Amino acid sequence: MLFVLPNSSYSQENQVLTADFNNISFEGFVKEVEKQIPVKFFYKKEWVEEIIINKTYSNTPLEIALNDVINSAGLKFYIIQNNIIITYQYIIKENIIGDKNIQGDSSQYNILSDEIKKKRPNENEDIEFTVYEIGNKGIKHEGIANLSGYIKCYETGKAIPGAVVFVNELHVGASTNQDGYYTLSLPRGEHQLNIQCIGHEETKRNIRLLSDGNFDINLKEKFFAINEVVIFADTKESLNGTHVGLEKMSIKRIKSLPTSLGEVDVIKGTLALPGVQSVGEGSAGINIRGGAADQNLILMYGTPFFSSSHFFGFFSTFNPLIIEKVSLYKGGIPAEYGGRLSSVIDIDVINGNTKKLEAKGGISPVTAQFMIEGPIIKEKTSFVLASRTTYSNWLLGLMDDPELRSSQASFYDINAKITHKINDKNSIQLSGYKGHDNFKFSFDTSYAYNSNVLSLKWIRKPGSKISSIYSVNYSKYDYSIESWAVKQNAFEFNHDIQYYDIKGDIKYNINKKHRLSYGFDLGLYDINPGEIKKNYLESLIIPYDINNEQAIVANIYAEDNFKISPTLSLNIGIRLSSFFQLGGKVIYDYKDNAEKNENNIIDSTYYNKNDIISKYLGPEYRISFNYRTGASSAIKLNYNRTRQYIHLLSNSTAISPSSIWKLSDNYIKPLIGDQLALGYYYNFVNDNYQSSIEVYYKKMQNMLDLKGNSVLIMNDKIESAIISGNGKAYGIEFMIRKNRGRLNGWINYTYSRTFIKSNGKYDNEIINNGDYYSANYDIPHNLNILVNFQYSRRLSISSTFNYSSGRPITYPVAIYEFDDNIVTEYSDRNKYRIPDYIRWDFSITFDPNLKRKKKIRSTYSFSLYNALGRSNPYSVFFKNDNGKIQGYRLSIFDRPIPTITYNFRF
């Protein structure tokens, strides 16, 4: 049964067609008819694909021409005012709307419109032929109007982020945000909306847009057949957006990657992308476009995380069961983000099911995870609760080393989220995270790590043109080290960082061409640099703590995204950034024109808590251009300036237990980065393939490095261990990927370099004679190959291959005796490299039952990590063996690691 709105502007008089059709498709026929006669067709494309018209019409009445073309193909048509509805295997009943020529009171149409709007979307396929009237009839039907609304899953009621709404004829579209909200500026009148999203059925809606209004859409979930495996929802996004270096990965795409120890890792999933490199196998931290591990802003719930890993880097902090998608900004960083130099990794979390209770989980040899979601108040309030834990001690028990056999290692994390819909315009979200790691090495030392995050959001959409999110956030990371083997030396060391934040983000659609974003954030850092205390009364350790560091950061931003012409788009923004170091600590004064060390201290000053010790202010510019060189190609240019006021100091390349968070102060200046990036993007074979080339050049001011033999823990004069310098990074990234089909995947290659130059004046501060030298994370070559093959509906196979250059290292080059002491002489810093890294992984996933209505759905995955059994070096170290320097290589995984994982959902 079909519901259609009449249009009082229609007249059947003089509706005649004059045209000569020669092997013309039905779509060509429609275009010619709509060009001559003020009508609009509604039909499904697959019904008319085989219709070819070879006919000449001269002043032929429209209905006769339609009978000739449509009825001969076994289809039916129905004319209601200026709408021509084509149907297949069902008949339109006229009594639904009464007399098709009714010209009565317009209130009849309003009643009919209300009835249609009450009809649940996706109830049957007729919904695609309904004409939805949106807005107020009293407003003039000219100019531009704003259409907005939510796209949700029909089965679960969840918002669908990343869904795409577009109008083919106008080449206009929009994607939904993490709350499933979209907004689109269209000319007033009739349009056909096309809606697509991965994992859901593609659909369309026909609307008559009278004025600004809301239009919500439900999408049904889709189970793909063998010949249709899609890993990208919107293949046009790389062409339409203005940001260079933006990568979006859905959780389905991340899950297609082979796992290590059976655990899906959203952070390590980004390592398959160009420009992203690992600091080391089994290590915490990643390097992006020449940036250190602490130069990446990692957000979940819109709140920064200061630790992104469990188990010393083997597992991600983030539970994949609750992740929706991951957005990586490595080039054109939007003005709403700030505080880090290199990149932003924004992790979107699902909302709970508003209709029914669901649960899913997984079990691997070393971890177990579980998630449950459902309604608290149906269609109004929902919850998500997820947890993970590990039981890896049995693996340590298999080790040959007796100290490792007596060691223990474990972690757990808990995620919770409650979403409440106050009304159509307001909703709130309360989210929380708690993670804990514990590692005990034999009977000597234990390490404990904790992350705690809390976020409260108010999401407001007062109209179709404006939306806003206001939030209060809290994040804390702390770790402790305890030693008790020797009671006289027993100690406990603690270090933590806390961040409090209030922020607001507002988006305003000025018109069809202009979209304005603006907002603010106000944050407080509170760092405990370290405290040490006794573990036993017999301990000779002297308790000591360093004064806390505190600082206020305040930022405001504005960004405008607008189209200059149909082929040229511009995104321009500015972020005003400020930093105020607060008192409550002692600041040491050093001799003028002398190296900062303990021997050159001449005085000290204590600043009260409300005093401002130092401050830094400055603008951050964001400019991006997109020039469409064709329907399937685009060129983008981007310039970014970013500032960073927080630093992670470490004696190793990887983030380690001795890493110390440090704020900028009167001695340590903020990092400032300027990046220029250029990209060319080309889609081919009907958008089945995407290719891109991006080049970038980055300059970095006030880079930090450490003096030789620097002490970080419990150093209240940390500035004396720091060397300041400038850095530069440049590179080129190639990528080609196949988006659809049983066989899909990508190949990418990155060539990049990163160099640092010390600015010190004194011998102890000058590195490599003041010349540029390779940063610890300078890795010139990086190649990634990913292949997914859907062998059948039950069986899929994935494989990844990675090659990268070895990291820089400083070698000892000589050993000699001086004044009865053995002295080791080292090469220039980072002059040599450890061996190259090569790894091949693959996985097989099997679904034993494809019944859609089965209560419990389960899959089995087999992964083989490091299938080649290559002993990739984690580090190289040296020993003095009887007066001879001998090098040794340490590998984390030197053999294939098989894993079987069982995943379930009910």
Query: What pLDDT does residue 400 have?
Result: 64
Pairing between β-strand 131-134 and β-strand 203-209 as defined by DSSP bridges: parallel
**Confidence at 85, pLDDT banded by 50, 70, 90:** confident
3-state secondary structure of 320: helix
pLDDT tens, residue by residue, 695-742: 999 999 999 888 877 778 888 889 888 889 999 999 999 999 987 788
**Confidence at 75, pLDDT banded by 50, 70, 90:** confident
In the predicted structure, residue 481 carries a pLDDT above the cut 70? yes
Average pLDDT, the chain: 83
Q: How large is the average pLDDT for residues 229-256? A: 70
In the numeric block, the tokens 């990965």 are attached to 249
Q: Which amino acid is at 351?
A: N
pLDDT tens, residue by residue, 777-808: 899 999 999 998 988 878 889 999 999 998 89
Does the model's pTM come out above 0.85?
Answer: no
Other Cβ atoms less than 10 A from the Cβ of 352: the count is 23
Strands in 246-250's sheet, in edge-to-edge order, are: 246-250, 323-329, 343-349, 296-300, 303-304
Q: How large is the average pLDDT for residues 864-871? A: 88
Q: How far apart are CA 176 and CA 158, in angstroms?
A: 13
DSSP 664-710: --SSSPPEEEEEEEEEEEEEETTTTEEEEEEEEEEEEEEEEEE-TT-
pLDDT tens, residue by residue, 133-171: 887 776 655 678 888 888 888 877 778 877 888 887 777
Residue of higher predicted confidence among 642 and 598: 642
Q: How far apart are CA 22 and CA 55, in angstroms?
A: 7
Q: How large is the average pLDDT for residues 307-327? A: 85
In the predicted structure, residue 81 carries a pLDDT above the cut 70? no
In the predicted structure, residue 694 carries a pLDDT above the cut 90? yes
Q: How far apart are CA 541 and CA 249, in angstroms?
A: 50
Query: What pLDDT does residue 225 have?
Result: 41
Query: What pLDDT does residue 625 have?
Result: 93
Q: How large is the average pLDDT for residues 417-424? A: 92
Lowest mean pLDDT among 280-284, 430-434, 558-562: 280-284
